[in-house]
């Protein structure tokens, strides 16, 4: 395919690390790395693979509860701690981690992120989330999660306070004058923040980060989440099952960013699950191999919760029985709507539906050869569906190795993805300017 003569707009691609992979049965595979989840060298190798592929960053999400410990351990190492080590095994690739505005305080988060931005020489991003589960809340002094609107008011104040703390040091505050000041007191100032949720004097006890501000990612899909993203996000993770859904979100966010008076181009990166094979049949076989590892009884029970049906006797390799329409359904409609769309679009067997829900849920899934996957990614990229993708390999490390070794070269040949890093910071990878000190 010919390379466009227009200015070279490149995809942004992250790896979303998640245990042994995003398929819930990945850890059960005989070749999985489940025994290595507590070994930092496993995560270092994943980061090195991504750097070899010239990816923008590795995204390491977080959770604050143990979940169902019999169903695979996703949270073994604490992400920020792991990133400190992973960054020492790499040189250019960026790192992004979740920070909960509900459970952290601004000073603690600002200090952690500023420290990591110095350790990584400017390669950090932070994905601000409000968290959502009562199980997490009860580990942080709450009886249950605060109301949705309250969590987003707190998040907005949290972000602004963190930014103020990073700016409490001017870039040239450090003087190292052995006969005078270590830092110029006039260039390190308190922020004296007093708001609805936080009282923070400042200044921060870490000098201004290398990037000025580590890159702020956000992933809100609700009305308040979109409003927060439009106001302050510098890059956005999205959920989209297909291109029309991706286009709707993409166009809405771009319009909101513009309406907020911001001139920055905020990259939008939907999640993407890929199964790569030398032939389409080989890719489908990889998908089926993982799907067959799902414990059927538990998976059918979970599907029953999502659909409010008794699925216990459904035949795994038969078509999905007819389900009530969305209008007839009385339960939570978001996931149910996705299930109906998967059934309508893909006409899966019950086993295939369980597998789709077990690997990425409502995220886009592409199965095929490197060229077929590159075709679909390019179509989204050129048609207001995405500025890039947040890769969610169903299995790790195999899934990211397949993508880096087979799909990335196709994207590079088409002029859609970098062949070398042009800069050394995450901001430079994403084409974002370093914020000046106010």
What are 262-276's pLDDT values in tens digits?
988 999 999 999 999
If you average pLDDT over every residue of the chain, what do you get? 93
172: pLDDT confidence band, cut at 50, 70 and 90? very high
356: pLDDT confidence band, cut at 50, 70 and 90? confident
Q: Looking at the predicted structure, is the pLDDT value of residue 334 above 80? A: no
Q: Looking at the predicted structure, is the pLDDT value of residue 431 above 90? A: yes
Q: Looking at the predicted structure, is the pLDDT value of residue 195 above 70? A: yes
329: pLDDT confidence band, cut at 50, 70 and 90? confident
The residue-averaged pLDDT of 162-173 equals: 98
pLDDT of residue 129: 92
Residue 235 sits at φ, ψ, to 5 deg, of -160, 150
Domains of the chain as residue ranges with CATH:
12-274+369-398+412-430 (3.20.20.30), 278-364 (no CATH)
pLDDT of residue 360: 81
Q: Looking at the predicted structure, is the pLDDT value of residue 305 above 90? A: no
133: pLDDT confidence band, cut at 50, 70 and 90? confident
Alpha carbon separation from 233 to 101, 132, 160, 204, 216 (Å, rounded)? 14, 19, 12, 22, 5
The residue-averaged pLDDT of 422-431 equals: 97
Most confident of 127-141, 188-202, 286-300: 188-202
Q: Looking at the predicted structure, is the pLDDT value of residue 238 above 50? A: yes
pLDDT of residue 332: 67
Q: Looking at the predicted structure, is the pLDDT value of residue 4 above 60? A: no
252: pLDDT confidence band, cut at 50, 70 and 90? very high
Q: Looking at the predicted structure, is the pLDDT value of residue 1 above 60? A: no
pLDDT of residue 97: 96
Residue 227 exposed, middle or buried by CB count within 10 Å (0-12, 13-18, 19+): middle
pLDDT of residue 7: 60
The residue-averaged pLDDT of 149-166 equals: 96
- Residue that wins the pLDDT comparison between 135 and 387: 387
pLDDT of residue 73: 58
Q: Looking at the predicted structure, is the pLDDT value of residue 139 above 70? A: yes
pLDDT of residue 70: 78
- Residues of the chain with pLDDT > 70, as a percent, come to 97
Q: What is the pLDDT of residues 68-103, one digit of tens each?
A: 777 765 678 999 999 999 999 999 999 999 999 999
Range from 150-159, 255-264, 278-287, 297-306 carrying the lowest mean pLDDT: 297-306
Q: What is the pLDDT of residues 43-62, one digit of tens each?
A: 999 999 999 999 999 999 99
Torsion of CA 371, 376, 378, 379, to 10 degrees: 140
pLDDT of residue 2: 38
């Amino acid at each position: 395919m010919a390379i466009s003569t227009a200015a070279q707009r490149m995809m942004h691609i992250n790896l979303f690390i998640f245990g042994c992979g995003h398929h819930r049965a990945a850890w059960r595979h005989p070749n999985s790395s489940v025994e290595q989840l507590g070994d930092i060298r496993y995560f270092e190798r994943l980061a090195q693979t991504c750097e070899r592929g010239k990816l923008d960053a590795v995204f390491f999400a977080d959770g604050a509860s143990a979940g169902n410990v019999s169903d695979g351990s996703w949270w073994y190492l604490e992400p920020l701690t792991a990133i400190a080590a992973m960054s020492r095994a790499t040189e250019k690739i960026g790192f992004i981690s979740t920070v909960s505005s509900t459970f952290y305080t601004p000073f603690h988060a600002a200090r952690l992120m500023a420290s990591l931005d110095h350790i990584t020489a400017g390669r950090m991003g932070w994905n601000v989330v409000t968290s959502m589960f009562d199980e997490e809340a009860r580990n942080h002094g709450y009886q249950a999660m605060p109301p949705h609107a309250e969590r987003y008011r707190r998040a907005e104040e949290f972000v602004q306070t963190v930014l103020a703390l990073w700016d409490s040091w001017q870039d040239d505050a450090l003087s190292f004058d052995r006969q005078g000041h270590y830092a110029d007191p006039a260039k390190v100032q308190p922020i004296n923040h007093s708001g609805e949720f936080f009282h923070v004097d400042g200044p921060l006890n870490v000098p201004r980060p290398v990037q000025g501000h580590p890159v702020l990612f956000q992933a809100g899909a609700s009305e308040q989440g979109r409003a927060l993203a439009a106001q302050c996000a510098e890059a956005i993770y999205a959920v989209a099952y297909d291109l029309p859904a991706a286009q709707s979100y993409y166009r809405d966010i771009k319009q909101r960013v513009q309406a907020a008076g911001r001139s920055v181009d905020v990259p939008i990166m939907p999640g993407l699950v890929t199964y790569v094979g030398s032939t389409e049949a080989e890719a489908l076989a990889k998908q089926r191999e993982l799907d067959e590892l799902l414990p059927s009884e538990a998976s059918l029970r979970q599907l029953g919760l999502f659909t409010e049906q008794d699925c216990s006797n459904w035949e795994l390799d038969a078509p999905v029985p007819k389900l009530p329409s969305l209008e007839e359904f009385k339960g939570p409609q978001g996931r149910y709507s996705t299930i109906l769309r998967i059934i309508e679009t893909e006409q899966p067997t019950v086993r295939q539906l369980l597998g789709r829900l077990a690997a990425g849920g409502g995220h886009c899934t592409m199965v095929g050869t490197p060229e077929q996957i590159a075709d679909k990614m390019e179509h989204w990229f050129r048609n207001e569906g995405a500025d890039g993708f947040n890769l969610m390999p169903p299995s790790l490390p195999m899934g990211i190795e397949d993508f880096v070794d087979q799909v990335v070269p196709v994207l590079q040949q088409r002029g859609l993805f970098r062949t070398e890093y042009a800069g050394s910071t995450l901001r430079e990878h994403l084409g974002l300017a370093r914020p000046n000190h106010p």
